[in-house]
């Protein structure tokens, strides 16, 4: 079946089997390998992308379900000139990552979190990120990065 999407601000179409997951389509058909697949059960959040500006777990959606949608992956978050998105910069500056496997999904979830919960405090940030698992950091620097990224997004 043919699926047409806008991915990272570019119109794309590709043929997929009806049971192809969005994560598979993004990684295998479009070579967007920043979409990580960790659990295949929507538990870890490594596959998180923005679909129509909302965070979704792409390992839990069929590519066909995203027909016509606007998808943003970690590769599309930076500017065309290569400047990091404020949330990406905050994760870098605050050391909100270690191995980096969860980072793309964590950053995209954080962008969504800040857009929809602009006044979230430490506890609420931790609660809202609970669908994204990081096995390395202990979350303290991630929370700090989300706060710094939120402040930079507001002032941008």
Q: With 80 as the cut, is the pLDDT of residue 156 above it?
A: no
Domains and CATH numbers, the chain: 2-76 (3.10.20.30), 86-155 (1.10.150.120)
pLDDT tens string 66-98? 999 999 999 999 988 989 999 999 999 999 988
pLDDT band at 155 (very low <50, low <70, confident <90, very high): confident
Helix segments in 35-139, DSSP class H: 86-93, 103-116, 122-128
Cα gap 71→34, rounded to integer Å? 13
Handedness of CA 75, 152, 135, 47 (dihedral sign): negative
Q: Going along 38-96, which residue ranges are E strands?
A: 48-51, 54-57, 70-72
Q: Which H or E element spans position 10?
A: strand 10-15
Q: With 70 as the cut, is the pLDDT of residue 142 above it?
A: yes
Kindly report the pTM of this predicted structure: 0.93
Mean pLDDT for the chain overall: 93
Average pLDDT over residues 11-32: 96
């Amino acid at each position: 079946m043919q699926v047409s999407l806008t991915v990272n601000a570019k119109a794309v179409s590709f043929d997929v089997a009806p049971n192809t997951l969005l994560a598979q389509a993004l990684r295998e058909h479009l070579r967007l390998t920043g979409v990580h697949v960790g659990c295949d059960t929507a538990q870890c959040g490594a596959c998180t992308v923005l679909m129509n500006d909302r965070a979704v777990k792409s390992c839990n959606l069929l590519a066909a379900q995203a027909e016509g949608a606007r998808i943003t992956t970690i590769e599309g978050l930076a500017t065309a000139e290569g400047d990091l998105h404020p949330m990406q910069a905050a994760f870098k500056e605050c050391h909100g990552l270690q191995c980096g496997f969860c980072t793309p999904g964590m950053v995209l979830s954080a962008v969504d979190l800040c857009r929809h919960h602009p006044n979230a405090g430490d506890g609420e940030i931790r609660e809202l990120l609970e669908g994204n698992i990081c096995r390395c950091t202990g979350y303290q620097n991630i929370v700090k990065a989300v706060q710094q990224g939120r402040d930079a997004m507001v002032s941008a």
